[in-house]
Amino acid sequence: MTTTSLPESLIATLPGDYYTDPEIFRLEQERIFEEMWFCVARSSELGKPGGYRTVDVGRESILVTRARDNSVRAFFNVCRHRGAKLCTQEAGEVKRAFQCPYHAWTYDLEGKLVAAPNLTKMPDIDRTEYGLVNVHVREWLGYVWICLADAPPSFEEQVVGAVVARLGDVAAIDRYGIADLEVGKRIVYDVKANWKLIIENFMECYHCATIHPELTEVLPEFADGYAAQYFVGHGAEFGADIKGFTVDGSEGLDRIPTVSEEQDRRYYAITVRPQVFINLLPDHVILHRMYPVAADRTIVECDWLYLKGVVESGKDVSRSVELFDRVNRQDFDACERCQPAMSSRLYAKGGVLVPSERHIGEFHDWIHDRLGTRQSR
């Protein structure tokens, strides 16, 4: 099969090895995940000072914690002495400091070296210079975003700009008050597929009528194959007889009071490259974070966010969660079905995109630009 001479209706995809080649994945780690803003945690997970979480971003382990002044800090999770991993647990809490389990070099919550065996006999050691190495941090929408680059790109352009490009303005997402919502449910999926397959799937709805019967029942326009992301500012409207974004279309939970009348009874989907999906509903928000592990494996952490009163009162959110959990599992099953074929000789030069998937073609152009592969491959 060749896609070099295509009808005008079709667009060529990336070649199959972009989803399987360890060298391509290494380039993505270096030039995408380690250079861009990457969402790593819900701010509330860090709790009080000393609360921490460790995450893998690209090829690096990163320690995210809350300092004494209540600010969020991030450091390379590497002891400055002999390079041991400082924290080996995914999450936890320390009282005042992080201590390396190898030689007991100890760092305060701001990253300063505060103690080590015989440290007083080494007065020439600058305790800040030999402290933990900082990583750039921002908080937005109640989440912690970090960037490993020495000179990070503009957060406003890369992250906020992606939302503005999709919704038309930042006020449209501010009305959901996402920072003040609470996690009502978190599900972690281990997907045996390349991260780009997951993004491509999320961005289009050409497949919706085929594999998402529950979703197209709630959002009938999705059966036509055009995803909500295809049009700037557009939100897919609930069906006439649908009362809420639930698995059976029944009444949802307490509506977010600041959501505008125009946004009510609508669903908005946003992709923030390289690894965040935001789904806006009148009564809750669903946020996915992808952690690419290998060329053929991606961990996806998905939060369902509701008003504090909904979570604190113990209201049943299961029908709300079940709808998008089904959608996720249907999508990830499709991605896992595609992954083996990426190695097929039939897909060596890639496949094709139809007109409703044109924004995936733009995503592929972005991949080429980030990796510098447009001319060489």
- Two tokens at 26? 């290494």
CA distances from 53 to 79, 92, 297 (A): 16, 7, 21
pLDDT number for residue 231: 79
Which CATH number goes with the domain that contains 319? Answer: 3.90.380.10
pLDDT number for residue 2: 45
Query: Using an 8 Å Cβ cutoff, are 65 and 87 in contact?
Result: no
- The number of distinct structural domains making up the chain is 2
**Interior/surface letters 316-330, b for 16+ CB within 10 angstroms, e for the rest:** ebebbbebbbebbeb
Query: Using an 8 Å Cβ cutoff, are 193 and 339 in contact?
Result: yes
CA distances from 232 to 162, 216, 269 (A): 11, 20, 11
Q: What are phi and psi of 14, to 5 degrees?
A: -65, 150
Quote the pTM value: 0.94
Same domain, 194 and 82: no
Same domain, 123 and 190: no
Tens digit of each residue's pLDDT (9 = 90 or more) over 20-64: 999 999 999 999 999 999 999 999 999 999 999 999 999 999 999
pLDDT number for residue 226: 80
Q: Where are the alpha helices (DSSP H) in the chain?
A: 22-28, 155, 161-167, 171-174, 195-203, 208-211, 213-218, 308-312, 318-338, 358-371
pLDDT number for residue 232: 86
Domain boundaries, position 251: 171-371
Which run of H or E residues covers position 40?
A: strand 38-42
Residue 230 lies in a domain: yes
Residue 9 lies in a domain: no
pLDDT number for residue 292: 98
Please list the ranges in the chain whose pLDDT falls under 70: 1-4, 228-230, 375-377
Same domain, 134 and 214: no
Same domain, 361 and 234: yes
311/64 Cα distance (integer angstroms): 25
